[in-house]
Structure 1
Amino acid sequence: MVTPEARKNARSVGVSLIVLMLVGVGIYIASTAQTGLPLTQRTTVKASVDNINTLSVNDEVRQRSKRIGRVSAIDFIDGRALVTMKLEGDHKIYNDAHAAVWDTSALAQKFIELDPGTSAAGRLGDKVIPVTQTTGSSDLQQLLGVLDPETRTQASSTIREIGGGVAGHSQDIHNFLDISQDLLDDLSTTANTLASDQMDLPALLRSADQLVSRFNGREEQISALVQQTDSTLRGITVDQGKSLETALAKTPTTLQEVRDALHSLDTPLADLQVAMTSLEPGAASLGQSTPDLRGVLREAVPVLGKVPGVSEHAEPAVEDLRHTFADARPLAPKVTDALGYLATPLGVLVPYGPEIGQFFVRGHSFVSEGPASGIRFARLSPNVGVGSVTGGLYRSDDFPRNDYPKPGEATRDRATTGLPPGLLPSGGHR
């Protein structure tokens, strides 16, 4: 009779065997997973390739970027690689098929992109895809090989700097990716705006091309400008930019003061406008007179040309006058005193100016008798008074006379004699 303990042990052994079988199947599947599912149909295709670079066994074979198999073997015949591919399932490959070694990523991982061809070319069968229908690998290193050593060195330095800058900013990159959807939406809006007719992007690009063409031949000036800008920015960042921070902190107050100053200029500028408006007619007249002034200046050239000669002739006389004035300089105080002394008598004689002038006029008439060219003589005419005519019978003092006429009265003074008009002496006018 089987005891319960024996049945329990039998179940444990059975479970253990089942577990071992499952583990074995799992290990088998895991070890063959990269070669495809077991017990499935496979299609073998071979291709001759010039350069496979880092392509290796078990790398993927894809059709339109979808995995359809793997590389099962790589052999080298006559300097070319013979690549054997195992495709999962039944695939029809034709004589015009094409195979290319492509990069999975920038890390040089490869795969084969297989184009099965067209049915019109016939089935490929066991034949090898010729090298003329394959494309070798173009490694990133080969691409960089076209660059000169200096450019490669700088590119390498740039990549290292970018790597160093990105290090430790994984959270920032994560945040950037979180908002990338919004950025892409904004980028879509920007792209639509650039593509609109109102933007006229082709005209903008042409203008930009013309602008860039203006910089041709000015590389040295641009380089100098960049260096100066670098020096300026370095100067700004001195002391962690505290000077700039202080300047920016004072900017609002400064701008307000500048605004007030500009407002205070309104009145002077208005006055200046009025002044300029008033000056406008004069300026216009000056502009109109400019041709006449130009003519005067042109005609004055010959006259001015004679000035040096006149000045040379006048120089001796001027020199003599200089000595004369130097000799007369001591007399100047005395002349000043004499004029001061004459001020009083001249002040008295000023009212009699007309009579004094008349005296000299009559004096000239007194001595003007005679031929035009000959001896001059004076003309005397007796002035008979009342006393002389009457033989002293009547005294002249008995008749009114003005011995001290006021200024301007001498020529109009007439003595009243009381005689008949025919006996009035010719000297009745005083």
Structure 2
Amino acid sequence: MRRIPLFVLGVAAVAAAAVLIAPGDDEYPANVVLPSATGLIPGSKVLVNGFDAGQVDEVSIKDGRAQVTMRLTNDFAPLHAGASARIVWKAVLGERQLDVRDGPETNPVIPAGGTLDGKASDPVEMDKVLAALDPATRTHLSSLVQGLDHTVVGNETDLRQTLRQAGPAMEALGGVLRAVGSDGPAIRELVGQLNSMVTTLVNRDQQVRAIVSGLSGATEAVVQQRDQLRAALAKLPGTLGTADRMLADVPGTVDKAVPLLEDLRPATDRLPAVARTLRPVLADLRPTVAQLRPTLGALGTLLQFTPGLLDSAHGALPGTESAVTSLTPALSFLRPYTPEVVGWLSNWGSSAANYDSNGHYMRVNIPAGISSFDNNPGVMPPGMVSDPFPAPGAIAGQPWTDAFGSGVR
């Protein structure tokens, strides 16, 4: 039975809070205390965060300060702690409006009828503006106003129609300016970044100037070489066509090269071992190659005299050719006896190869026999044979009987 009264009390508290926050006329009242409310009248517009949110109901004085009672629509209610208000100028001729800036939504809610802190700047009246002008400026301004008055007189209907037609455009302009005002922080940041960029450019003026100068020089060079570039571009299609044909032949060439490379693989696999084997040989050849440098120098000196030697030899070649031609029969005859001549020279060389403390000496063995007598009438003793025309190689027991084709001539 006790739960029912508690429930009723809760419902009553919620209803009371709803009445305080949202009054019966579906509007949200609030008060603003300002040092001065000059130019603000009942019916003046109230802005919340830059949007039309209501109007001023009453302007009164309390404790020597202006107290403004305003009424906001529920779309902008309720306000939060930390909200502030100030008077802004809607027009130059004295019309004012109240600009309210709501506090963070995480702050406590200000109940309906609550009070906000406000601030106001000294209004700038038209008479103060005119008083700040010097006499000559006021005279010119007076003539300007009179001329404007003469221009408007008789054209009131056209001017009214023009202003009426310009209303939508002005309203759109107002929307744009309102959007600019709501995007103030973003625009401020953009202007700050632009200022930083301009400052950086100013600090690097010399570098920017050098870059611009280099770009200008490059542009001039491109302009001067325009004809060459045009000619190169004219040849480009033909070059691309030739390249296309060459690339078309590449697959066939590759197909033919692949088997060859496959055949060469065993040999290439052996190249590392061959290289390791050749490394000691090349290391041993390095001193020899170094010693060849003087020889190559001497060869260069010799080659300098070679043209003269060839010229002299050219004069002697005809006689040499005839001498060689004359000696050809004798050489042809002696050619089969080359082994005997070489053997004879070898024997003489072996005999003269001995030497003692006095120098080289030669031993000569003179064989003597029955055939050595001078009065031998040509009769050979038993066991001896006389051959006045021995065949080549007969001394070594290998007669060269086919040296002349059909025996000795």
Return the structure number with greater relative CO, CA threshold 8 A, min gap 6. Answer: 2
Task: Give the TM bin, normalised by the shorter chain.
Answer: 0.3 to 0.5
Q: TM-score, normalised by structure 2?
A: 0.37
Q: TM-score, normalised by structure 1?
A: 0.36
